[in-house]
A and B are shown apart, each in its own frame.
Chain A
Amino acid sequence: MSILNWLGALPGAAAQGIIWGIMAIGVYFTYKILDVADLTVDGSICTGGAVCAVLMTAGMDAWLAMLIAVVAGVLCGLLTGVFHTLMGIPAILAGILTQLILWSVNLKIMGQANMALPSRSFDVLVAASRVGVSLPILIVFVVVLIALLYCFLGTELGAALRSTGCNLNMSRAQGINVELIKVLGLALSNGVVALSGALLTQYQGFADINMGRGAIVIGLAAVIIGEVVTSRLANSNFVKKIGIGYAFRLLGVVIGGVIYFFVYQTVVFLGLDTDLLKMLSALVVAVFLAVPYWKKKYLSSPHKKAAVSAGCTNDAVKEDESNA
């Protein structure tokens, strides 16, 4: 019986995973491509949700409401971008400032701390109460989104975005206005994040001022899990040959989101105290972020090899010690 409960919860977890995976795509754009840690997302996901909830309760069509939510997210990213580039504030701090601003803005948008958007009264695109219909819609939605973003990364502007994240000096030398590109990247990223906020609000039937708390950690977790799961595929010769590595990487991020919610569902099912979940997520992300650092520090040690080739092996050191 309980196993069946668990299985029954999986489609819901998958739907949630895809929605949060879309948010994680936004995080991927800043964290991985632009090499900027942007904390705006904790606020902009809620902005997207709040705008969508307010507009839809006022009778607006779901698609139009989502479009306006995206615009609102883009504005959030622009603000962080302006803080970072025009005012010279470090990216992390710029994101935190915008996040705090958005706390007030989101309260003003909704006029209260939360806002219901019940699926039985409004014509929402996706809803937890009809997972069977929502899941295929979300899958199509995310595939189209990935295709669009993948195409963008292949454009001249998308290439400038990638090179800015990879090598600032070289990008400047090639005539790229790196400050403008950073603002553009932050705006795009937060637009995507707000879109996921709008979907989440429809799916769960409400927007809440706290819905974005810790979103960045879930996003990072999805990015990291996705990287582990799809790195081999994205770097395979076949994928390289047809040149769609980035499409696979973005897909990996969404898969990472889905896996995150499967694990979440499972630990909840196993009876773990849900109060501890945020702490555990953060710790898992911390460990995963540490892995590349540890690998570099303890596993591959070029200086050791260099030492050996230079003739100073440990034995030689020991001899020195015994002589002394």
Chain B
Amino acid sequence: MLEMKNITKTFFPGTVNEKVALKGIDLTLEDGDFVTIIGGNGAGKSTLLNAISGVWKPDCGQVIIDGIDVTHLPEYKRAKYLGRVFQDPMMGTAKDMEIEENLALALRRGKRRTLKWRISKAEREEYRRILADLDLGLETRMTHKVGLLSGGQRQAVTLLMATLNTPKLLLLDEHTAALDPKTAAKVLEITDRIVEKDHLTTLMITHNMQDAIDHGNRLIMMHEGKVIIDVKGEEKKKLTVPDLLAMFANASGKAFTNDRAMLS
């Protein structure tokens, strides 16, 4: 479903701030893979997702989604294939627009936007149904502005928006990091449910090692712009946090440092 070949990216080349963010990443995801990504501060996790979504062009390498080479497509054109949820709950929704308007925007991802007027009744019923599935009471507040919702509610709506028009690839960039533990658990539960239902190929960055182990069928750990650990299947199911820390120390020659990961 996704193929990344030798993706390399250096930020601020030729300056004192030069930072090699990705060092020749090769990564292949099978259809239906749910991969969790973990790594220390500045390991290149978000940079990896941005390479896929086209926030910038890589210095070299190729990104292929479902057989289509998207390396040179601008961000808004790649959006057709991708569902994205960001770390900041404010980032994934338009706060001045109603919940149903946000969903309507998302339903038209990858399609031509025309002068067709208003949201149809059938469409609205569909929104009501999927909002009710969230079990957050949002189905009765469809004409409320998204800006009135809590962070967790906004992330849940963003998740719906990312998956409403089924994407080839779902990209979750620490989408629960800004939420309190209880809400984060709820959003993760919703994530699992949606991914399961639509059999979505998913990449999820998390700072929580336990979450990385508990969710998905494959786990990769990044360090200094490289994938240093890649565990899948049965081996991943048996994994524990101490295992992971030991594997990291072994692979990188250092102790794992991520302030937030250590705390959680």
- Let me know if B53 is at the binding interface, CB within 8 A: yes
A174 touches B109 (CB 8 A): yes
Chain A at the B interface: SS class: helix
User: Who on chain A is nearest to B95 by CB?
Assistant: A166
Number of residue pairs spanning A and B whose beta carbons lie under 8 angstroms apart? 80
- Let me know if B101 is at the binding interface, CB within 8 A: yes
**Which of B75, B94, B110, B143 contacts A163, CB < 8 Å?**
B94
Task: Name the residue among A166, A174, A176 with the largest chain B CB count within 10 angstroms.
Answer: A174
- Let me know if A301 is at the binding interface, CB within 8 A: no
A147-203 at interface with B (beta carbon < 8 Å): 151-152, 154-157, 159-160, 162-163, 166-167, 169-178
Closest Cβ–Cβ distance, residue A156 to chain B (whole Å) = 4
- Let me know if A130 is at the binding interface, CB within 8 A: no
Q: Determine, out of B9-17, B30-38, B111-119, B235-243, the stretch whose residues face the partner at the interface.
A: B111-119
Given contacts A152-B115, A154-B118, A155-B117, contact A175 B93 (CB under 8 A): no
- Let me know if A111 is at the binding interface, CB within 8 A: no
- Let me know if B260 is at the binding interface, CB within 8 A: no
**Which of A156, A174, A243 contacts B79, CB < 8 Å?**
A174
User: Who on chain B is nearest to A175 by CB?
Assistant: B79
Given contacts A166-B94, A173-B84, contact A156 B113 (CB under 8 A): yes
B76 touches A157 (CB 8 A): no
List the 3 shortest-distance A-B pairs measured between CB atoms, nearest first.
A175-B79, A166-B94, A156-B113
Task: State the A residues within 8 Å of B (CB).
Answer: 151-152, 154-157, 159-160, 162-163, 166-167, 169-178, 240, 243
Task: State the B residues within 8 Å of A (CB).
Answer: 53, 75-77, 79-80, 82, 84, 86, 91-97, 101-102, 104-106, 108-111, 113-118, 143, 161
16 contacts between A and B (CB under 8 A): A152-B115, A155-B114, A155-B115, A155-B117, A156-B115, A159-B113, A166-B95, A170-B93, A172-B75, A172-B76, A172-B79, A173-B53, A173-B82, A173-B92, A175-B80, A176-B113
